[in-house]
Structure 1
Amino acid sequence: MDAIGHDPPNFECDTCGRYFRSQHAVEQHMTDMDHWAESSESGEPEYECDGCDDAFNDEDDLRDHEVKEHFYCDPCNRYFQDWNSINQHLHGKLHRNSDIRCPFCKEMYRTATGLIHHLERGTYSWAPLDRDKLYEAVRRRDPNGIISKKLLTWSGTIRYEANERAWNHAVEAYECYLCHRLFGKLASLNQHLNSPIHQEKLYHCPNRRCGSEFTTLAAVMNHLESESCGYMCFEAVQKHVERIVDPSRMIQF
């Protein structure tokens, strides 16, 4: 903007922080999205998009936004080039019903990736797992390192927290000092910093000829479900995920 002489827009949404070119545009947006400040009963929206400044009070609305605006599939943690690509993906075998039940909350998931992603997030207090605890459980039952890496110095997920000093005045945004990605809100930057994106890789593909490494177990499941390395078929992954969450079984493929 400095180089070309572009001034930043002045019309900001009351709720999600997006800017618009005119008052009419921002009012139309707030009306369509119910983003008027006085209509919000729950304060700040809980679910913020990592790809832009939009925020939502409902997680399903966030997921729908990520699909339509950013061509992003959250359960698979994948971006697509256009709407046709992600639409084809969402209607493919990766997202067909498999009826996999969470052993803790009994909620049903359509894929092994979705179930493991749910467990690694540590969403529910009665589910005694998160990314770190699940990795520790997998390591205990995977002595041969079939899918888990033997990290002698690993001590758990590193927690980052940015403050106002992360504000980059040159670009008028909060900047991640690890990857230099920009965010409109400090909360969005901290959400990004505490996602697995900058964490150590804990897993690898069981196919030794593949060599792919991953920060989360959900990413391993997604890789195997995609059949990209030809190690096993989609249906086999759904069956083997039971060995991951069953503490009485050793992990094998």
Structure 2
Amino acid sequence: MGSYECDSCTRCFNSWRSCIQHMNDTGHRRWPHECETCDTRFGTKRAVEQHMEAKGHFTYPYDCETCNDSFRFEDDRDEHQEEGGHYKHLHCSDCDRYFQSSNNLAQHMRSRVHQGTSIKCPFCKASFVTASGVSHHLETSSCPKAKNLSSSVIHRALRQRDPNGVITERLLEWHEGNTINSTWNPNSAYNGSGYECCICHREFSTSRGLNQHVRSPVH
């Protein structure tokens, strides 16, 4: 029995050449590689790729989720969407904007564009989107009426001025304490007539008096 079997019938041949001649004469030869667009078939993968390249018959079945680009391979599509932030779940439908990461999208959704500025600094009334924005505003001494105070002093003042917990209940990272930042400069509390305590609004004639007051058990 020969070693070379016809693609279609059960005949076997002693040589590959005899088998090919038989299949060509009888039309039994199979062409396993089919063009992606037309019905033409080929005996080798290389032959079908050459045909599709020449005829423009390659298909691009993997569409980007957000733009009009299409790709031959799924991995290429995924790489494109990752680099361009073109995944649908990274899309803000209200703004029709796409983002490169879920973190960027989350920050956008928490921004004043969508959240407004509903939380106010209890000292200077500046508006912020989040309680952490107020925290940063105060702890970086950006507030003109509460400069260079430590977190513990600011927290106590916020509790006094924020009885409904709009700000303080959202600042879980703050802890109670009674220390004041060593860089605090009471001279910055001068309001034109005296040195004003930003917590209880008492005025003192000297910065030393205010400094002693803030460091005292009163606060």
TM-score by length of 1: 0.22
The structure with higher relative contact order (CA 8 Å, sep 6+) is 1
What TM-score comes out, normalization by structure 2 length?
0.24
